[in-house]
């Protein structure tokens, strides 16, 4: 199965598509946001992802304890305030799409409301993502699926049944579905990444493509996922390690993004290459049977006058015991190879 979006092919026979998630790393600064988009385009991202919402699309201004985050990276943060700081204004989107188009990259989004979907459709968004926390919002999922664009489903915290229900809604309209293994812990510790889940998702949802959404603070897990044949790797992306943002603690910089792209392509090529014929490539470094002394015609080959030495220019060293005792048809000088046509 291959999902093609303009010039990008996503599938198990292609290197994983590298997705740079901008999220709230713009820190409310439009110039910084557009700089992030451009930097992702030129530093290895195949696709750039943003998030389309306003606080009112996700929560209310409620002030009870339930509206404050209890633990983790954003402990004690008020939901409305956090989302107001992290959201990407609708008015910034058009320029971001124009930058991505200029660099021939795909930009897409996670919409958090029906109106966000309609807005993204006006920008000809080519792809959508269902965020982990939205996987149970079947109304929203059905509406996104009705646009008949490829959909990425992030599975952090989701049960098998919840993933199945989400996929069922999408399949009402199409089968262009990508599932991302995801741990919704920010940042995710390496010991919690559970990459084996990738294979489980492949077995459970055989008609979907499977990739990784990596919330660790480095690219170790992303590279380690390569043997699992992931079709996409998503990483949060930031341009400056020194500027603290809502997502900076689990984002990678330009250098790591570039390295991830390089490593993913190289590793994909190595996993899909036929076994190298080492015998042909390094044949000269193997041992063969050579004369240790000058020998005359009809002399017998013995352990005293032949040996197994480099380079591989005579009879293979593996036939040493078979040639012992055989006679030679002509004179041979020291250091010369013993060849089959020289023996009786």
- Whether the CB-CB separation of 224 and 195 falls below 8 Å is answered with yes
Query: How far is the CA of 120 from the CAs of 175, 209, 235, in angstroms?
Result: 21, 24, 22
Full pLDDT tens readout for the chain, 344 residues: 899 999 899 999 999 999 999 999 999 999 999 999 999 999 999 999 999 999 898 888 998 888 898 888 878 888 888 888 889 999 999 999 999 999 999 999 999 999 999 999 999 999 999 999 999 999 999 999 999 999 999 999 899 999 999 999 999 999 999 999 999 888 999 999 999 999 999 999 999 999 999 999 999 999 999 999 999 999 999 997 788 998 999 999 999 999 999 999 999 988 876 655 655 656 778 899 999 999 899 999 999 999 999 999 999 999 999 999 999 999 999 999 999 999 98
- CATH 3.20.20.70 location in the chain: 2-272
Residue 166: predicted pLDDT: 97
Residue 75: predicted pLDDT: 84
282: CB partners within 8 A, 6+ apart: none
CATH code for the part of the protein at 2-272: 3.20.20.70
Query: How far is the CA of 94 from the CAs of 23, 57, 91, in angstroms?
Result: 16, 20, 7
Task: For 252, list phi and psi in degrees, rounded to 5.
Answer: -110, 155
Domain 278-342, CATH among 3.90.1210.10, 3.40.50.1820, 3.10.28.10, 3.30.450.20: 3.90.1210.10
User: pTM for this one?
Assistant: 0.83
Residue 67: predicted pLDDT: 86
- CATH 3.90.1210.10 location in the chain: 278-342
309: CB partners within 8 A, 6+ apart: 287, 288, 290
Residue 279: predicted pLDDT: 56
């Amino acid at each position: 199965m291959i999902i093609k979006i303009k010039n990008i092919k996503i599938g198990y026979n292609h290197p994983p598509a590298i997705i740079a998630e901008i999220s709230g790393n713009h820190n409310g600064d439009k110039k910084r946001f557009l700089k992030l988009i451009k930097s992702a385009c030129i530093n290895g991202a195949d696709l750039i992802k943003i998030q389309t919402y306003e606080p009112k699309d996700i929560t209310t201004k409620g002030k009870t304890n339930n509206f404050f985050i209890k633990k983790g990276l954003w402990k004690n943060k008020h939901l409305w305030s956090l989302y107001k700081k992290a959201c990407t204004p609708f008015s910034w989107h058009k320029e971001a799409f124009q930058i991505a188009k200029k660099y021939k990259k795909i930009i897409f989004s996670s919409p958090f409301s029906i109106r966000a979907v309609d807005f993204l459709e006006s920008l000809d968004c080519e792809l959508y993502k269902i965020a982990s926390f939205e996987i149970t919002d079947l109304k929203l999922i059905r509406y996104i699926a009705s646009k008949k664009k490829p959909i990425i489903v992030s599975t952090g915290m989701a049960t098998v049944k919840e993933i199945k229900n989400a996929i069922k809604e999408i399949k009402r309209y199409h089968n262009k579905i990508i599932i991302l293994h995801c741990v919704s812990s920010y940042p995710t510790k390496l010991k919690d990444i559970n990459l084996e889940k990738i294979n489980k998702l492949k077995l459970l949802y055989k008609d979907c493509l499977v990739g990784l959404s990596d919330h660790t603070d480095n690219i170790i897990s992303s590279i380690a996922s390569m043997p699992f044949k992931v079709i996409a790797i998503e990483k949060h992306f930031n341009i400056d390690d020194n500027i603290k943002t809502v997502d900076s603690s689990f984002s990678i910089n330009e250098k790591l993004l570039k390295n991830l792209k390089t490593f993913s392509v190289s590793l994909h090529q190595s996993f899909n290459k036929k076994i190298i014929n080492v015998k042909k490539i390094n044949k000269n470094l193997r041992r063969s049977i050579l004369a240790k002394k000058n020998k005359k015609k009809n002399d017998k080959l013995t352990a005293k006058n032949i040996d197994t030495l480099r380079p591989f220019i005579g009879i293979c060293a593996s036939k040493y015991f078979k040639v012992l005792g055989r006679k030679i048809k002509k004179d041979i000088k020291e250091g010369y190879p013993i060849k089959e046509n020289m023996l009786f």
